[in-house]
Amino acid sequence: MQLRQLTFAIHTLGCKVNTYESDAMAEALRAAGFAERSFEETADVYIINTCTVTNVADRKSRQMLRRARKFNPEALIVAAGCYVDDAAKNDRLEELISAHVIDVAVPNADKKNIVSIIKNELILENDSSIDENINSSNPSLFLTELDGHTRAFIKVQDGCNMFCSYCVIPYVRGRLQARPVEEVLEEIRMLAERGVAETVITGIHLSSLGDGLLRLVEGIEGIDGIKRIRFGSLEPTLITEAFTAQLRQSEKLCPHFHLSLQSGSDTVLKRMNRHYTASDFERSCDILRKYYEHPAITTDIIVGFPGETEEEFRGTCDFAERVGFYEAHVFKYSRRRGTVADRMPDQIPEPLKAARSEELIRITDRLSHEFRTYYLGKDAAFLSEELVEIGGELYETGFTPEYIRCVKKSESLHQNEIIVGKTSHIVQQNVIDESLVLL
């Protein structure tokens, strides 16, 4: 009897670290003999790499788990990641299993064992048509191939020791743990050999590496094939004169910096247990603008934090205008059980949170448009990723070093090549937000 090849599909929610871990789990499963399917296709195994950073993230995680069950009621449904860790701490895992929402729960620490976990579960089903001899080694999460990809997210550390008052992540990801630099560089070398041209250095609390990030950038700088380097989210306290001056020596590092703000009000920042003031943050932006011409500075902002007054909210709006962010991810504060903020008085009503969120989004959307407009009529260069159709014509598309999407007419794709030209106007089309058009 011919043995049936097992199939899997994976869906990722949340942060860039989850993206890296999903890519690594998928690679391990393919190496073990599984065939990958898109998430909407029928598969033997569905893995949802979950997120629990907000109540919305929890809800999306549950929705995707239930959707997978509908795709194939007989499939093995695997919940992995932060939502699993949080549910385990709050005694909700058994409820999910008994309700047949999930079959297997894989916490963050066990993602590296995804092959053996799934194999053991499938063999328990006693399906004689399944090959029980599939490779079930327990590889660490490590990427060696991302064929067809331009950009690779590379996790260089995990965990966080900061314990911001609103955040559950230290409880589900654990304490700080850094990967050896040489291991990371070897991973990037292997990906570069397979065609990856841009690497994004990411982690749960990337700034904890301090000057280690400088050594990492220096190592990546020497890897053939890597054309661009980006950072994930950084703490503003990392951006000092000395750090930035040394960083500026890199020819591959993109002038695109995501600095987590959370609030432009010092009193809110103190309640959040953030270890800087609004002035400290603004000083970091000034340093970046001293060493880079018109860098892209992006951020995260939480509105409706417990006790947030109208004056504190206005301070955040004014601060965003003053700094001139390229993009801002605006979140309504989400209560997380077990955090300090969950026990704070003066919780903000949801309608007021929503109104403040909408107002701040309008401001930051305008700032984003103004940032792109600055580049009109100027030379630009983007790393080609794919062909898209706009108005019945084909365009190559990709991102500039500042992470502005650009498009240029082309009948063929020159993937991972740098496309240059002068920008002429802005276009908006479907999933593409605002894009600069190159002549």
List 142's β-bridge partners, or say none.
none
Q: What is the pLDDT of residues 98-117, one digit of tens each?
A: 888 899 999 999 999 999 99
**CA 207 to chain CA centroid, nearest Å:** 15
**SS (HEC) of the chain:** CCCECCEEEEEECCCHHHHHHHHHHHHHHHHCCCEECCCCCCCCEEEEEECCCCHHHHHHHHHHHHHHHHHCCCCEEEEEEHHHHHHHHCCCHHHHHHCCCCCEEECHHHHHHHHHHHHHHHHHCCCCCECCCCCCCCCCCCCCCCCCCCEEEEEEEECCCCCCCCCCHHHHHCCCEECCHHHHHHHHHHHHHCCCCEEEEEECCHHHHCCHHHHHHHHHHCCCCCCEEEECEECHHHCCHHHHHHHCCCCCECCEEEECCECCCHHHHHHHCCCCCHHHHHHHHHHHHHHCCCCEEEEEEEECCCCCCHHHHHHHHHHHHHHCCCEEEEEECCCCCCCCHHHCCCCCCHHHHHHHHHHHHHHHHHHHHHHHHCCCCCEEEEEEEEEEEECCEEEEEEECCCCCEEEEECCCCCCCCEEEEEEEEEEEECCEEEEEEEC
pLDDT value for 92: 84
Mean pLDDT by 10 residues, the chain (439 residues): 78 96 95 94 96 94 95 95 92 83 94 94 58 53 84 96 95 94 96 95 96 97 97 97 97 98 98 98 98 98 98 98 97 94 97 98 95 94 93 92 94 93 83 68
The beta-carbon contacts of 109-115 under 8 Å, at least 24 apart in sequence, are 109/174, 111/21, 111/24, 111/25, 111/80, 111/81, 111/141, 112/138, 112/139, 112/140, 112/141, 113/138, 114/25, 114/28, 114/29, 114/47, 114/78, 114/80, 115/28, 115/29, 115/32, 115/139
Q: Say which CATH topology domain 7-124 has.
A: Rossmann fold (3.40.50)
pTM for this prediction: 0.91
Whether 7-124 and 151-373 share one fold: the answer is no
Of the candidates 272, 202, 192, the one whose C-alpha atom is nearest the C-alpha of residue 230 is 202
Tokens coding 438: 């190159």
Q: Tell me the domain boundaries of the chain.
A: 7-124, 151-373, 379-438
pLDDT value for 433: 66
| CATH for 151-373 (3.80.30.20, 3.40.1160.10, 3.30.70.100, 3.40.50.2300) | 3.80.30.20
Tokens coding 120: 């053991």
Q: What distance in Å separates the CA atoms of residue 11 and residue 257, rounded to the nearest whole number? A: 27
pLDDT value for 428: 79
Q: What is the pLDDT of residues 66-78, one digit of tens each?
A: 999 999 999 999 9
